[in-house]
Amino acid sequence: MMDLPIELLKQGIKRGSILLSDSFEDIDHAKFFAIVGVSKEAVAGFFFINSRIHPVIMSKPDQLAMQYQIRKDNYPFLRYDSFLGANELLVRSVNELAISMRDGRTSIVGQLTEEDLDILLEACRRSDLFTNNEKRLFFY
């Protein structure tokens, strides 16, 4: 358990942060995810990292185009080269995330490389999966 103040924990929640959390109701295990967008109250682009691309996505070209490979060499906490699924924009409040960090359910494990983050942001800005408002709020 961390007894750090919520405001201090919030400072670690920023674009490019990679976190590990078991606080997802519909997932029965801890998941890595990257934060790509941050507004004053929320984080988004909350993109999950998976060891493989889900078969359902293989038949959806727009979503398949947003599966970004990240290399184990750059991210020591990964067991294998993996895929960051930037095909669905999930939004969480910064407070909720900081509270789950304080409670020990979520931890920051790394940071996307500058190159990976730049490529990912550019892909998000070009993608038709996100509205212009979402792009303005989270990807610029």
Sequence ranges of the domains in the chain: 6-135
Q: What pLDDT is stored for residue 93 in this prediction?
A: 87
Q: pLDDT for 32-47, tens place per residue?
A: 999 998 877 788 778 9
Pick 35 or 28 by higher pLDDT.
35
DSSP structural state of residue 135 = H
CATH number of 6-135: 2.30.30.110
Q: What pLDDT is stored for residue 1 in this prediction?
A: 45
**55-64, 89-98, 109-118, 122-131: least confident range:** 89-98
Please give the Cα distance from 111 to 22 (Å, whole number): 19
Mean pLDDT of 75-95: 92
CA dist 10 → 23, 57, 114 (Å):
17, 33, 21
**5-14, 15-24, 81-90, 102-111: least confident range:** 5-14
What is the value of pTM for the model shown? 0.89
Say if residue 138's pLDDT is above 60: yes
Write down the H helix ranges in the chain: 6-10, 61-64, 94-102, 114-126, 132-138
